[in-house]
Amino acid sequence: MPTVMNSRAVSSPMNAGNGPVK
């Protein structure tokens, strides 16, 4: 999933748990 790096910007519910850490 390409949103892993942009998790902070995308604010995806799946990446929300990981946050901007990755």
Provide the terminal-to-terminal Cα distance of the chain, rounded to the nearest Å.
12
20: three-class secondary structure by DSSP: helix
**Which pLDDT value is given to residue 18?**
58
The pair of structure tokens assigned to 5 is 């790096």
- Rounding to the nearest 10 degrees, give the CA dihedral for residues 5, 10, 1, 13: 120
Looking at per-residue confidence, does 20 or 7 come out higher? 20
How far, CA to CA in Å, does 18 sit from each of 4, 12? 8, 10
Record the pTM: 0.11
At 22, is the pLDDT very low, low, confident or very high (cuts 50, 70, 90)?
low
Contacts with 13 (C-beta within 8 Å, 6 or more apart), sequence order: none
**Which pLDDT value is given to residue 5?**
57
The chain-wide mean pLDDT, for the chain, equals: 55
